[in-house]
Structure formats: C-alpha cells, structure tokens
Structure 1
Amino acid sequence: MYSPLGAPPTKDQIVIHEVGYLARNYWWVFPNTVSPFWRLYYNSRSGHKMVIGDREVELEPGHLVIIPDHVLFHPYGTEAVPHFWIAFSPGLLLAKPGPLLLPVSPEERGLVERICGKFTGPAEGDRFAIYHQSAALLHLVVSREEIGWNDAERSPVLVKVTDYIARNFVSLPDVPVLAKMAGVSARTLSAMFQREYHVSPTRFIARVRTSEAAKLLAETSLSLDEIAEKTGFPNRYYLTRVFTKLTGKSPARFRKESHAAAMGKEEP
C-alpha cells in the first residue's frame, strides 16, 4: 500500500494506492466488486475474466484492462495464472464510461515484467522500484491517444461526498441533505455524479450497498433481514429488488452460487 486514501488534487497528477502481483493467483472470484479507486489489470496468461453489465472481459496477455472507480464488476477465475494489478486515482475524467481494453505495447509489457520481478512474495519486495516503475507504467497508459479524457478536473467536493458514502453507507441522509453537507445544491450534486460517474447519487449509493450485501451473502450465514439492516436497505424486500436489478441475480441465487464456488475452491 502506498497512499490508501489519497486523492489527486489536480488533473495533472496520479496517486498510486496499491500495486500487487501474484505469481499463481488461483482464486479470483469476487462478485459485485465496487472499488473507490481505478484498477489496472494485466495477466500474462489467460484463465481469468470479469463481467461488467452485460459485457464479458477476458484477462489475457494481449491487453491491459482498466476499470474506472465505482464501477460494479464481477471477477471470475480459478486457474493458477500470474496476476498483476494497480489501484490508482487519476486527476482526470473519462469522456465516456469505461471499462477500457488497451492492446499492451512492448514497452508496457516490459515494465509490467520488471515490476513483477521486484516482488519477492505477496505484498513483499523492492517498494521503491515497484512504486516508481508503476508510476512510469501508468503515465505511459494514461497518455495513450485511445483514451478519451474530459478536460474538466475531478471535483474535490465529490471526492469528499463519495468518501463519506463509503464510510457511512449503513445510515445515510437523503441526497438533498448530503448536498447541503457538501455545500452545494441537490441539483448540482446530481450533475457532478452524472459527469464523473455517469450515474445518479441514488444509484451510486445502491451500488455501494449492493457490494457490501454481496460480501455478507458470500461470507456469512446472516439472514436477509440482518443483511438489509447492516447495509442500509430499509427491508429485505427492497434489498432483493435492488440487488437483483444491479446484479441480475436474486440474493438467494447469489448466495447459493457463491457457496458452491467456495466449496469447489482447491489449493494449487
């Protein structure tokens, strides 16, 4: 971890939160993932994929995959393959919503290989070299002409609001109250969310709560009533409706499939 909660103050900066590498990542099954940071993924062998909406994206040697922040996605993979990632925050906005699939260049692939070579184990290695070579990789990637950037800077107001939502999703005030806390009108806050995340504030909050509900469904035996209470949904029925709409699966089906997948998990 480098800057776990840092956010870039200007559009000219990139903040690196985490760089990771697993030589044999055999378990990449995390349905309903919503990250507060951007993610760059690269696998030097095929075997893992992610689902984003109705789109299936393979992680393979030919391209880099970039997921913007607060995008709901579903990683899947049980084959032991090399897995590299960077969690980061750019001070820029995409002109259109992601994800991005970029053919990897020889220079980018070489940097990834050098970074991975600096790891001596999970979360262990030459931190200085890993950080600076990762920064070089990100600057190469974000400067590519294929990426359509919006000239506007990220809103520091929205950074604070999304951080507040992430920390207090169980008990949040209504959107107009959130806006007042941020010092803007509800209309302005909604426009900010549409510009930066391409969703309404209400939809954004639903994604965060759904992601947390998915973790509890997969990792605990809590009832739907208990999960609704712990994730900010007013009741199990509303949880079921929102969860099914966002993920395409009912909570019961999701829990059954998650537990079945966990039972089939094997050590490499």
Structure 2
Amino acid sequence: MPQELSRQLSRDYRDPHTRLGIDLTPESGSGASSFLVQECGFRHYENWNHRGIRSPYWRLHHNFEAGNSVRSQGSEYALNPDVVVLIPGGVPLDTLGRKTVPHLWIHYLPSKEFLLAMRTPVVVPTDTATQAALTQLRNLFDEGLIENSQRMHHLSKAVLHLVFARLDSEAFLAFPDRLLPILEHIDRHLGEDLSTPRLAKLNGMTRHRLTQLFQKHTGLSPSRYVADLRVRLAMQRLAATDESIEQIAEALGFPNRYYFSRVFQKQLGCGPATFRRGQR
C-alpha cells in the first residue's frame, strides 16, 4: 500500500486539525457567535436627519446611491455606493440625509475578537462579494421576502464577515502583555468581584496605574470596561438562551435582577425583558 494512502487511512478524522490547512481556532474565540445581529433594515429615507445619536450597539450603513453621509466628532463620512461605514458602539454621530436614497443598515454586536481600536466611524471599501451580499439583502425587502428571517440573518452575518475580513490587522485592538492577563481574568470571572480596587490588588498595581492602563488601551475605565462587557454578554444571552433574567444577572456578576435591569435600561433605553421580546 502506498505510504501516503496508509497515512490517510490511519488519520483520526475526529480531529478537525489536519495540519495541512491553517488553524483558525484562535480566531474563533470560545465558540460563541462572532456577531449578534439585532436588526437589518432597508428604506428609501426621505428625511434621514438625526443629531446626537449614541448607541450601545454597533451599526453598519450602506447606501446604494451617493448623496448622504454621517458626521462624527467634526469629520464627515460619505455613504457612497462603493463603501460601507461601520460605527462602533458609543461613537456619537449625526446623520445627514440630503437626498432620498436606498439605504440599508445592520445593527449588531461583535464578539471581543472583532473589537476595533478606532473610536470613530470606519469607511470600508466593498468588493464584488460584499456588493453581491448587500444586493441580496436589499432584494429580500424589494421582493417582499422579509418573513424569511433565517435567510436575512445569515446574509447579514455574511455581509459583516466580508466587511471585517477587509480590515487590516492593525484595525483591531492589540493589548500589551501587562493588560492581557487582566482581561482574561475578567472574562473568566464575570460573576465575581471585579471592582477596580480588587483588580488592582490581584495584579499588583495601584488603582491609578490600572486605570491609566485601561484608559490608554481600551479607552475606558476598568469599571466601565467590565460594565460594558457584562451588558454585551447579557444581550447575547437574552437573545440566544432561555436563561431567566435572574440567572443571567447572577452569572454576570450583577447583585440582583433589579440592579441588572437599571444598568441595562441606562445603556440600552429598555429593560432586559423588553429587549428579549424584541429578539424573539
């Protein structure tokens, strides 16, 4: 029997890693979905003019014709038909609807692996594959097929993956060695005390030094980083599991359901129960 054939027959095909391809396990995180898609929409907006928008979720905007834009922190980003614009959560923006144009949007939450280093809108040029997926999404609305939510869900995720695949690696957050174990500890112990004094003591640094480290590399204080992560994971659990609100609150380190509801309401403008109903 040829040696190569013998090796193939003896291989354990239960192992997905053949060593012939590229191991992408580190890019898949803990196995959670890369994106929680919350909404996809398409309209011919007649008056797309809003000021002072700041959302906890992320946005993708695409216009099929030129004319409109978004503005953030003094800079304007044109929504031309050959680009999409990504707007990370918490970034303030104004929408400038000078014309009535066909407009598609996706509201979503990325997993931690997809967090961007930028604190501004990001303009991403589209390619043929991305344009095709965007057009397929538009066609679902044009042809009245919006009840096919599974198809819309997968197409929305396809668009997000295609867009994020076009970003340079420098666009994603890269944390220093001093910060990585702290973030990993937070990920593993979300149900425990993650106050700034506790984190500082565990990692042998002052509260001031810890806060400086977080501000420099995440743009957030330690307490805000933890709170945002807890709310983001709560949104994922509310949308994807049947856990009770009490169970989610306890698992993610909120002292009780009522405190969890107040924090959730403050960030999203609605309570956990209302949010869950909107996802079903």
TM, length-normalised to structure 1: 0.55
Shift in CA distance, 95/124, structure 1 to aligned 2, threshold 3 Å: same
Gaps (5+ residues) in structure 1?
Answer: 1-7, 162-177, 205-268
Q: How does 1:71-150 map to 2 (within 5 A)?
A: 71-90=91-110, 91-92=112-113, 93-119=115-141, 124-146=146-168, 148-150=171-173
Corresponding position: 1:180 with 2:195: yes
Q: Distance in 2 between matches of 1:22 and 1:109?
A: 15
Aligned to 1:54: 74
Q: Which has the larger radius of gyration?
A: 2
Q: One-letter code of the match for 2:168?
A: E
SS at match of 1:86: strand
Q: Mean Cα displacement is larger for which, 186-195 or 38-47?
A: 186-195
Match of 2:34 among 2, 8, 14: 14
Contact 1:119 1:126 in 2 (8 A): no
Shift in CA distance, 113/68, structure 1 to aligned 2, threshold 3 Å: same
Q: Distance in 1 between matches of 2:129 and 2:84?
A: 13
SS at match of 1:195: helix
**Offset of 1:136 from its aligned partner?**
1.3
SS at match of 2:132: helix
Corresponding position: 1:69 with 2:84: no
Contact 1:15 1:88 in 2 (8 A): yes
Shift in CA distance, 54/200, structure 1 to aligned 2, threshold 3 Å: farther
Shift in CA distance, 203/74, structure 1 to aligned 2, threshold 3 Å: farther
**Offset of 1:183 from its aligned partner?**
5.2
- Higher RCO (CA-CA < 8 Å; seq separation 6+): 1
SS at match of 1:150: coil
Q: Distance in 2 between matches of 1:48 and 1:203?
A: 33
Q: Distance in 1 between matches of 2:150 and 2:197?
A: 37
**Offset of 1:29 from its aligned partner?**
1.6
Aligned to 1:167: none
Contact 1:42 1:85 in 2 (8 A): yes
Aligned to 1:209: none
Q: Which has the higher strand share?
A: 1
Q: One-letter code of the match for 1:27?
A: N
Contact 1:19 1:130 in 2 (8 A): no
Q: One-letter code of the match for 1:41?
A: H
Contact 1:67 1:98 in 2 (8 A): yes
SS at match of 1:94: coil
Shift in CA distance, 106/70, structure 1 to aligned 2, threshold 3 Å: same
Shift in CA distance, 22/57, structure 1 to aligned 2, threshold 3 Å: same
Contact 1:119 1:125 in 2 (8 A): no
**Offset of 1:190 from its aligned partner?**
5.8
Q: Distance in 2 between matches of 1:78 and 1:203?
A: 36
Q: Distance in 2 between matches of 1:55 and 1:74?
A: 10
Q: One-letter code of the match for 2:87?
A: I
Shift in CA distance, 203/22, structure 1 to aligned 2, threshold 3 Å: same
Q: Distance in 1 between matches of 2:69 and 2:40?
A: 17
TM, length-normalised to structure 2: 0.53
SS at match of 1:117: helix
CA offsets 1:108-145 (integer angstroms, 9 cap, x no match) = 01100101212269994321000001111111111224
Gaps (5+ residues) in structure 2?
Answer: 1-27, 201-206, 226-280
Shift in CA distance, 202/13, structure 1 to aligned 2, threshold 3 Å: closer
CA offsets 1:9-31 (integer angstroms, 9 cap, x no match) = 85974223323323311222221
Give identity over the alignment, percent. Answer: 22
RMSD: 3.8
